[in-house]
Amino acid sequence: MKRLYPSRLTKRFLYLTTIIIFIPLLIIFILAATSSRDIIKNQTENQAIQVTRVMSDKTSDLFNLKIQLLENIVENQAGETGKLEGVL
């Protein structure tokens, strides 16, 4: 150890550098990693909710379109024959 760091000043400088630079950087990195993980989790939850809403809206639009189509068919058939029983 004495060959690597011949003077006390070098050792002190390295210790201070470690304490002043590396430890705060490590803390900042840990905070950034945890906050980004939370942000990504919230965004995926929000996206899942938006996707389900869009799918629900599209499904209800599709069902409404099919119901209107069937109602139009029934009205046309009832108008031609005069009876609703002819369709059923």
Exposed e or buried b per residue across 21-44, where buried means at least 16 C-beta atoms within 10 angstroms of its C-beta: eeeeeeeeeeeeeeeeeeeeeeee
Report helix, strand or coil for 82: coil
**CB–CB of 17/11 below 8 Å?**
no
Q: Among all chains, which residue has been given the structure tokens 């059923």?
A: 88
Kindly report the pTM of this predicted structure.
0.53
What is the chain's Cα-based Rg? Answer: 36
* Residue listed under structure tokens 């995926």: 44
Reading the block at residue 19, the tokens are 């304490």
Q: What is the pLDDT of residues 27-65, one digit of tens each?
A: 999 999 999 999 999 999 999 999 999 999 999 999 999
